[in-house]
């Protein structure tokens, strides 16, 4: 039953990926969907420029809106205040509010259940190979990327047209390269003939992430994803929470072994890195991990079953 429960999440991820990218005609024509749904953001990282994408990416939308204020030229004293005001009033509050609503209810559950690029990394990690955790300090890089590449550079870095640019999408996002850059380059010869160093850099970064995904669990999500950095702190205050009965825990290690982001679950459950995937809950032999929130009841094993399970681990 536990295995069936875990497989459900993989199917949900697959279905979410298909629904998010349902404009399959785009892969034939090499054109993007431009219907009314493209004005709606999904709560996950999914490239706007993917030929099949039906919706917009929230991280992309935030950058484009901020960059649309024209950027800030710090060398120009005249008009500096006007530009700052323009940026402050152009902050994409609707998109930010939407993400805060999602995170405020379920924390990082969107990362664990419906993110296409996260799902792809998990599939790669199933390839038989040695597995590693990586330095803990790497997890802070995604917060730097969120602040610098999503908010500051689009606002303050001017391009040749005296405007801002979506720096994370342009210089980093491997999901965008996989879903948008590579397909468009393949489908549109005119675009392919103009590719330069930036495309080489981004495809190299994508290749690195994909290789790392074989040996590390969801490396992009853990170390580089700005959306994960946005959602992470909301885990502690979200409406739905994961709780562990520490007294009943038999410390068998099954939960930590299964965790897709390599958490020490008894110690780190539901911290900012937790994806709320519920895999730990599914493999716990004594049901000491519970999901709490409106409409849910905590289910735990009877004390005698917990005692018996503890004896078996000694």
Identify whether 90 is part of a domain.
yes
**Model confidence pLDDT, tens digit, residues 257-276:** 999 999 999 999 989 999 99
What are the distances in angstroms from CA 90 to CA 58, 64, 124? 15, 10, 39
Domain that residue 66 falls in: 8-232
**Same domain flag for 61 and 115:** yes
Q: Looking at residue 253, which CATH number applies to its domain?
A: 3.30.70.20
pLDDT, position 189 = 87
**Torsion angle defined by CA atoms of residues 176, 179, 185 and 191, in that order, rounded to the nearest 10 degrees:** -50
Would you say 207 and 126 are in contact if contact means Cβ atoms under 8 Å apart?
no
Identify whether 98 is part of a domain.
yes
Query: How many domains are there within the chain?
Result: 2
**Same domain flag for 260 and 284:** yes
Q: Does residue 6 carry a pLDDT above 70? A: no
**Model confidence pLDDT, tens digit, residues 26-66:** 999 989 999 999 999 999 999 999 999 999 999 999 999 88
pLDDT, position 101 = 98
Which pair of structure tokens corresponds to residue 43?
A: 């709560």
**Same domain flag for 155 and 276:** no
């Amino acid at each position: 039953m536990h295995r069936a429960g875990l497989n459900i999440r993989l199917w949900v991820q697959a279905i979410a990926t298909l629904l998010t990218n349902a404009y399959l005609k785009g892969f034939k024509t090499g054109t993007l969907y431009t219907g009314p749904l493209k004005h709606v953001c999904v709560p996950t990282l999914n490239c706007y420029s993917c030929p099949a994408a039906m919706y917009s990416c929230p991280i992309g939308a935030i950058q484009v809106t901020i960059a649309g204020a024209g950027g800030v030229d710090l060398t120009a004293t005249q008009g500096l205040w006007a530009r700052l005001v323009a940026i402050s009033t152009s902050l994409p509050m609707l998109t930010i509010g939407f993400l805060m609503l999602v995170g405020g209810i379920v924390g990082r559950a969107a990362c664990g259940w419906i993110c296409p690029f996260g799902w792809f990394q998990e599939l790669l990690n199933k390839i038989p190979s040695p597995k590693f955790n990586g330095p803990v300090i790497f997890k802070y890089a995604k917060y730097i990327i969120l602040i610098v590449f999503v908010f500051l550079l689009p606002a303050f870095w001017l391009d040749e047209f005296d405007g801002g640019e979506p720096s994370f999408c342009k210089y980093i996002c491997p999901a965008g390269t996989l879903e948008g850059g590579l397909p468009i380059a393949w489908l549109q010869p005119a675009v392919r003939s103009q590719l330069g160093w930036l495309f080489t850099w981004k495809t190299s970064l994508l290749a690195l992430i994909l290789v790392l995904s074989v040996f590390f669990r969801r490396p992009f999500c853990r170390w580089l994803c700005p959306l994960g950095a946005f959602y992470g702190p909301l885990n502690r205050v979200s409406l739905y929470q994961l709780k562990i009965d520490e007294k009943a825990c038999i410390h068998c290690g099954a939960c930590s072994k299964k965790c897709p982001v390599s958490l020490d679950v008894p110690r780190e459950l539901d911290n900012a890195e937790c994806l709320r995937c519920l895999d730990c809950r599914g493999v716990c032999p004594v049901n000491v991990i519970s999901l709490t929130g409106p409409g849910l009841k905590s289910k735990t094993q009877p004390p005698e079953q917990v005692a018996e399970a503890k004896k078996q681990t000694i």
